[in-house]
Amino acid sequence: MRAFSDLRFSPPALAALALLIVAGFLIDDEYILNLMIISLFFGAQAMVFDFTAGFIGIINFGFAAFLGLGAYVSALSAIRLGLSPWLAMWLGAGVAGIVGWLTAILTLRLSGIFATVMSWFVGLTLLSLATALVPLTRGSLGLSVPPLLEAAERRPLFFALLPLAALIYAVLRAITRSRVGLAFRAIGDNIEAARASGINPSRYRSLNFTISCFFAGLLGGFYAHFVGILTPEIMATSHTVEVLALAYIGGRGSLWGGLAAAFLVIPVFEFLKPLFEIRLVIYGLLLIAVMIYVPDGLAGRLARLRRVA
Amino acid sequence: MDGWALWDLFLTGLLRGGLYALMALGLSLVFGVINIPQFAHGEFYMLGAYFAYFAFFTLGSTPMVAILLAGAAGFAAGALIEKALFGPLRKRGGADWVMNTFLVTIGLSFVLQNGALALWGANFRGITGYWSGSLRLGSSMSIPLDRVAGFGLAIGAILAFWLFLGRTRTGRAIRAVAQDETGAALLGIEPNRIRNLAFALSTMLAAIAGGSLLSLNPAHPAMGSEALFKSWFVVILSGLGSVGAAIPGGFLVGILETFGSYFFGSVWQDCVSISIIILILLFRPNGLFASDVRGIWER
For A152-163, the pLDDT digits (tens) are 788 888 888 899
The pTM score is 0.88
Establish whether this prediction's ipTM goes over 0.90.
Answer: no
Average pLDDT over residues B73-77: 95
Q: Across A120-134, A250-264, B196-210, B269-283, which has the greatest mean pLDDT? A: B196-210
**Which residues does chain B have within 8 Å of residue A278's beta carbon, measured at their own beta carbons?**
114, 118
Give burial (CB, 10 Å; 0-12/13-18/19+) of A117. buried
CB-based contact, B264 to chain A, within 8 Å: no
CB-based contact, B34 to chain A, within 8 Å: no
Q: What is the Cα–Cα distance from B253 to B111, expressed in whole angstroms?
A: 29
Q: Per residue in B202-261, pLDDT tens?
A: 999 999 999 888 888 888 998 888 889 888 888 888 876 567 788 888 998 888 888 888
DSSP A68-108: HHHHHHHHHHHHHS---HHHHHHHHHHHHHHHHHHHHHHHT
CB-based contact, B278 to chain A, within 8 Å: yes
Other CB atoms within a 10 A radius of the CB of residue B168 amount to 11
- Under DSSP, the state recorded for B190 is -
What pLDDT score does B294 carry?
A: 43
Higher-pLDDT residue of A13 and B157 is B157
Is it true that domain B3-128+138-283 has CATH number 1.10.3470?
A: yes
Residue among B48, B14, B9 nearest B207 (CA):
B48
Confidence at B1, pLDDT banded by 50, 70, 90: low
What pLDDT score does B79 carry?
A: 94
Q: Which of B98, B109, B282 sits opposite A112 (nearest CB)?
A: B98
**Which residues does chain B have within 8 Å of residue A295's beta carbon, measured at their own beta carbons?**
92, 94, 96, 100
What pLDDT score does A210 carry?
A: 94
Average pLDDT over residues B183-197: 86
What pLDDT score does A212 carry?
A: 94
Helices (H), ranges, B56-215: 63-81, 87-92, 97-120, 145-167, 169-179, 181-186, 191-212
Q: Across A265-274, B203-212, B261-270, which has the greatest mean pLDDT? A: B203-212
Average pLDDT over residues B103-108: 92
Element at B20 (helix H, strand E): helix B3-34
**Which residues does chain A have within 8 Å of residue B260's beta carbon, measured at their own beta carbons?**
none
What pLDDT score does B291 carry?
A: 57
Q: What residue ranges do the domains of chain B occupy?
A: 3-128+138-283
What pLDDT score does B298 carry?
A: 37
Instruction: Determine what percent of chain A is predicted with pLDDT higher than 90.
Output: 27
Average pLDDT over residues B158-177: 87
DSSP B89-129: HHHH--S-HHHHHHHHHHHHHHHHHHHHHHHH-SS-B--S-
Average pLDDT over residues B74-98: 86
Residue among B38, B56, B49 nearest B71 (CA):
B49
Q: What residue ranges do the domains of chain A occupy?
A: 2-239
Kindly report the nearest CA distance between residue A13 and chain B, in angstroms: 28
Q: Per residue in A82-115, pLDDT tens?
A: 888 888 899 999 999 999 999 888 877 777 788 8
Helices (H), ranges, B213-245: 224-238
Q: Across A107-121, A281-295, B103-117, B275-289, which has the greatest mean pLDDT? A: B103-117
- Cβ A59–B99 below 8 Å, yes or no? yes
Confidence at A3, pLDDT banded by 50, 70, 90: very low
Q: Which of B106, B118, B267 sits opposite A278 (nearest CB)?
A: B118
Residue among B239, B243, B252 nearest B288 (CA):
B239
Confidence at B109, pLDDT banded by 50, 70, 90: very high
Q: Which of A57, A124, A284 sits opposite B111 (nearest CB)?
A: A284
Average pLDDT over residues A155-180: 89
- DSSP lists the bridge partners of residue A67 as none
Average pLDDT over residues B262-273: 78
Q: What is the Cα–Cα distance from A280 to A282, expressed in whole angstroms?
A: 5
Confidence at A283, pLDDT banded by 50, 70, 90: confident
- Cβ B85–A292 below 8 Å, yes or no? yes
Mean pLDDT of chain B: 84
**Which residues does chain A have within 8 Å of residue B232's beta carbon, measured at their own beta carbons?**
117, 120
Average pLDDT over residues B94-109: 85
Confidence at B296, pLDDT banded by 50, 70, 90: very low
Kindly report the nearest CA distance between residue B90 and chain A, in angstroms: 9
**Which residues does chain B have within 8 Å of residue A117's beta carbon, measured at their own beta carbons?**
37, 232, 236
Q: Per residue in B9-46, pLDDT tens?
A: 888 888 888 888 999 999 988 888 888 889 999 999 99
Confidence at B111, pLDDT banded by 50, 70, 90: very high
Q: What is the Cα–Cα distance from B280 to A258, expressed in whole angstroms?
A: 36
